[in-house]
Amino acid sequence: MIILVVNTGSSSLKYQLIDMKDESVLAKGLCERIGIDGHMNYKTDEGMVFDKDIALPDHGVAMQLVIDALTDKEHGVISDMDEIGAVGHRIVQGGYLFDKSEIITDEVEAGIEELCTLGPLHNPPALVGIRACKKVLPNTPGAVVFDTTFHRTMPDECKYYAIPWEYAEKYHVQRYGAHGTSHRYVAQRCAELMGKNPEDLNIITCHLGNGSSITAVKGGKCYDTSMGLTPLEGLVMGTRCGSIDPTVVSFIYEQTGMPVKEITDMMTKKSGLLAVSEISADCRDICDAADKGNRKAQIAREMLLRSVKRFIGAYAAELGHVDAMVFTAGIGENDIDLREKVCDYLGFMGVTIDKEKNDCRGQEVDITGEGSKVRVFIIPTNEELMIAKDTQALVESM
C-alpha cells in the first residue's frame, strides 16, 4: 500500500509518500507560507525536483499541488492519485478523547475540534488539512495519528498534577505529553535492534530538538514523560523555559502587570537557551560561543545538560532498572559532546559509551561501551513511518 503522510501547520503542509512494501519514501516535500505568498518544494529519489515560489492561497490549493506533483508525467512517482491507498495525518493533541490512532469519521473530526482548546496552535490547522485532503482525495480513506496517545498509558500518579481534582475533572487539566509518535518509534526500533520484545525492556528515550522531551518506557508503554498539559513543561528547550516554579507567573504579573498570556508567550517563545545565552536558540551557535568563553552561552549549555541528566536520573529511579537509552531528534542525533557528557555523568548507573562510535551524526548506531550495564543507541526518529504504519494497519482492518 502507498500512503501519503500529511503534517499540517497553520501556514505549512509537510508531506511524504511512502511505499509500505519496503517502507521507502517515494517523494516528500513542504508547502509553506500558505495564505501568505506561497513556497513549495518537491523531492524524489533523484533529489530536489523543484523549490519555488508558487501561489498558495489556502491549504486546499497546496494539497492539490502536492497531488499534481506526485502524479506529474515527468517527475511524478505515481501515475494516478488512486494509487494512494490512504492518507495519514499527524495530530498534535489527542487530549482526553483519543487513546489510539483512528480512521477519520465525523465523530473523530468533532473530537479533534473539541480538543482545539487544549491544542490551540496545532489542532485547528490539522482539521483544515484533513478537510483539504478529503476534497482533493474524496475516495481515499484517512487516518489520524496523535502525538499524545503513546502517553495515555501513564499511571495516575504520573498523569495527574497534585492540585484539587476538580481541575482535572471539569477542565481536563492533566499531563498529556508530546512527541509520542517519536518516542514510540525509537522505543520500538531500539527493541528491534536489541532483538528483544518491547514488553521485556525498560527504555529511556530522549527526544532532544528545538522542543525536547524525555520518556520512561516500561515494557513498551509510556510510564512517565517530561512534557505536561502543554509542551512547555520539562527540559530547558530552544525558546521554552521548561519546568519552573509556577508562582514565577503570578510574581511577574504582580511586579510588572504583564498579562498572563504575555507571560506564557515569553516563557514559550523568548526563554530557554535563547534567553539564557542571549545569542541563539540553536545549540550549535551556543556551543561555538561557549567554546569562545561566552559565560552566558556556557550557562545555557550547562542548563541543557543538567536538565537532560535530571530527567534521565529521575526516570531511572522511577523505572528501577534501565535496559537501554536512546538519543534522537536534532540535538540527540547530532550533538556528540552532549551525548558524551551525559553518558559520562551516568557512569554511576553503569553507563559507558564507545567514544569512537559516538563520533557520528544522524545515523542509527549502537554506541554502547564495553561492559556497560545499559545499552545506548542513537536512533534517527521517523514519525512519518510510524504514522504510515498505523494508517496502513487501520485501513487494512476496516
147 labelled catalytic? yes
In the bound state with ligand ADP, the residue whose beta carbon lies nearer, of 133 and 274, is: 274
Count Cα atoms within 13 angstroms, Cβ side, for 12.
Answer: 11
Figure out which of the listed residues 198, 330, 369, 380 binds ligand ADP, where binding follows CB under 6 A: 330
In the bound state with ligand ADP, the residue whose beta carbon lies nearer, of 94 and 209, is: 209
Q: Does 284 bind ligand ADP (CB under 6 A)?
A: yes
Q: Which of 72, 106, 147, 366 is catalytic?
A: 147
Q: Does 268 bind ligand ADP (CB under 6 A)?
A: no
Span of 148-156, 291-299, 309-317, 331-339 interacting with ligand ADP by CB under 6 A: 331-339
Q: Which residue is nearest to ligand ADP (CB)?
A: 330
Figure out which of the listed residues 267, 329, 342, 376 binds ligand ADP, where binding follows CB under 6 A: 329
Q: What letter would DSSP give residue 117?
A: G
In the bound complex, what is the minimum distance in angstroms from residue 179's beta carbon to ligand ADP? 8
The set of cell numbers assigned to 328 is: 534522537
H/E element holding 146?
A: strand 142-146
In the bound complex, what is the minimum distance in angstroms from residue 264's beta carbon to ligand ADP? 19
In the bound complex, what is the minimum distance in angstroms from residue 188's beta carbon to ligand ADP? 19
Q: Contacts with ligand ADP: how many residues (CB under 6 A)?
A: 13
Of how many residues is the chain composed?
A: 398
Q: Does 366 bind ligand ADP (CB under 6 A)?
A: no
Q: Does 334 bind ligand ADP (CB under 6 A)?
A: yes
Q: Using CA atoms, how far apart are residues 33 and 264, in angstroms rounded to an integer? A: 25
Q: Does 29 bind ligand ADP (CB under 6 A)?
A: no
Q: Degrees (nearest 5) of the Cα angle 230, 221, 164? A: 45
Q: Does 282 bind ligand ADP (CB under 6 A)?
A: yes
In the bound complex, what is the minimum distance in angstroms from residue 362's beta carbon to ligand ADP? 8
CB 40 within 8 A of CB 56: yes
Q: Does 9 bind ligand ADP (CB under 6 A)?
A: no
Residue type, 120: P
Among positions 207-266, residues that touch ligand ADP (CB under 6 A) are: 209-211, 238
Strand partners, 160: none
Q: What letter would DSSP give residue 237?
A: -
In the bound complex, what is the minimum distance in angstroms from residue 7's beta carbon to ligand ADP? 11
Report how far apart, in Å, the C-alpha atoms of 34 and of each of 53, 125, 136 are.
Answer: 11, 11, 17
47: Cβ contacts below 8 Å, ≥ 6 apart: none
Q: Does 384 bind ligand ADP (CB under 6 A)?
A: no
The set of cell numbers assigned to 257 is: 502587570
Q: Does 331 bind ligand ADP (CB under 6 A)?
A: yes
Q: Using CA atoms, how far apart are residues 33 and 50, in angstroms rounded to an integer? A: 16
In the bound complex, what is the minimum distance in angstroms from residue 338's beta carbon to ligand ADP? 7
Binding mask 162-201 for ligand ADP (x = CB under 6 A): ----------------------------------------
In the bound state with ligand ADP, the residue whose beta carbon lies nearer, of 282 and 364, is: 282
Residue reference for cell 476538580:
166
Span of 115-123, 135-143, 225-233, 327-335 interacting with ligand ADP by CB under 6 A: 327-335
Question: Phi-psi region for residue 13, left (φ > 0), alpha (ψ -120 to 50) or beta?
Answer: beta
Of 355, 384, 376, whose CA–CA distance to 7 is shortest?
384
Q: Does 16 bind ligand ADP (CB under 6 A)?
A: no
Alpha helices in the chain (DSSP H): 59-70, 106-114, 123-136, 156-159, 165-171, 180-194, 247-256, 260-269, 272-277, 283-291, 295-319, 329-334, 336-345, 355-358, 383-396
Where do contacts with ligand ADP occur on this chain (CB under 6 A)?
209-211, 238, 282-284, 329-331, 334-335, 361
Catalytic residue positions, numbered: 147
